[in-house]
Amino acid sequence: MITVAGFNTAIDRYIRLDALQPGEIHRARAEQVYPGGKGVHVAQTIAALGERVQLIGLVDAPHRNLISRRMSERGVLFHGVEVAGELRHCMALQEAGGRMTEILGQGPLLSPLERDALLHAFRRAAEDSELVILSGSLPRGFAATLYADLAAHVQAHGMRCLVDASGEAMRQTLLARPLMLKPNRDEISELLGYAVTDLDAATQAVLALRAQGIAMPVVTMGELGAVAADDSGVWCARIDAMQVVNTVGSGDCFLAGMAVALARHMPLEHALRLGVACGAANAQAEETGFAERAAVDALLPNVSVYRMHA
């Protein structure tokens, strides 16, 4: 069983309109509402790839059914911890020309009791797990050290821990030395204090993370692919140029692919191949943060994996 702590569940609203004009009234051409947030993306893609997965995250009363139904359709065991405040709403506005504008809500401020309930649900669920993923923003009310504390907890119990966080939460998590940290190019640039814009710089970046005690760091570089390292060396994987529809959530699907491969004890170079195929499968489809197995299988032969020389 893979456990995903993706606490800050969102309600995503996708609206298509002709052209966005600030200050004007717009009529939607199409509209969809579905559960979102990084935890949902990661968990549903893990399930699509055929591994057992559970997700711990916030719910509110108005959206409990929407989220539970979608997660069970997708094969995810969902432990929703109900809070009094309303879940965050995220809006993606897509214009006819393809441009996307996103508005991300803040989400509820948790009370101490609600924070305890969430942590209790997480610790209980993680007990029968071998791999734990901490992913996404922290609900308001938690300290930036939350992922560092959870990573230390799960690793002390012999579980492997993969983390996708940004800003101060990632900086703090580094100190707990999770097995994997997965920044994208902007996040690693902010962490290291210089721009990581090509694969050579990404190679130096994963080595810098190794030097800080991360056994298996990965840096994802969008259309350039991804670079990862472990004791076997530094590896890069990328895919041939392809038609792109929506890349939002590609990092989440990438992480899902890596997690599935690690749960199956595949070596890093094969894990990276699966991760890149999942990221690309997400980018090819309209839906945010979901990679279907058939699409992933079709893309796998187009991924090239090679060693980077440090």
Ligand X SMILES: Nc1ncnc2c1ncn2[C@@H]1O[C@H](COP(=O)(O)OP(=O)(O)OP(=O)(O)O)[C@@H](O)[C@H]1O
Query: Could you say whether residue 54 binds ligand X (CB under 6 A)?
Result: no
Dig out the tokens for 156 from the structure: 């002390």
Stretch that binds Mg ion, among 2-10, 109-117, 184-192, 294-302 (CB under 5 A): 184-192
The stretches of the chain forming alpha helices (DSSP H) are 38-48, 64-73, 112-126, 146-156, 167-174, 185-192, 199-211, 250-263, 268-284, 293-299
What is the dihedral angle through the alpha carbons of 281, 88, 175, 187, rounded to the nearest 10 degrees?
Answer: 50
User: Hey, what are 88's tokens?
Assistant: 């965050």
Please count the other Cβ atoms lying within 10 Å of the Cβ belonging to residue 166. 16
Site for ligand X in 137-156 (CB under 6 A): none
Provide, rounded to whole angstroms, the least separation between the CB of residue 2 and ligand X: 18
Q: Which does 223 bind (CB under 5 to 8 A by kind): Mg ion, ligand X, none?
A: ligand X
Residue 226 or 234 having the CB closest to ligand X: 226
Q: Do residues 240 and 114 lie in contact, with contact meaning Cβ atoms separated by under 8 Å?
A: no
Considering only CA atoms, which of 146, 135, 179 is closest in space to residue 43?
A: 135
Instruction: Check if the beta carbon of residue 93 is closer than 8 Å to that of residue 99.
Output: no
Smallest gap from residue 267 Cβ to Mg ion (A): 24
* Residue 165 binds ligand X, judged by CB under 6 A: no
**44 is an interface residue for ligand X by CB under 6 A:** no
Chain residue at closest Cβ approach to Mg ion: 251
**Is residue 36 close enough to count as binding Mg ion by CB under 5 A?**
no
Instruction: Tell me if 292 contacts ligand X by CB under 6 A.
Output: no
Nearer to ligand X, 53 or 248 (CB): 248
**Are 61 and 85 contacting, i.e. CB atoms less than 8 angstroms apart?**
no
CB of 184 to ligand X, least distance (A): 3
249 sits near ligand X (criterion: CB under 6 A): yes
By the criterion CB under 6 A, which residues form the site for ligand X? 184, 220-223, 225-226, 239, 242, 244, 247-252, 254, 276, 279-280, 283
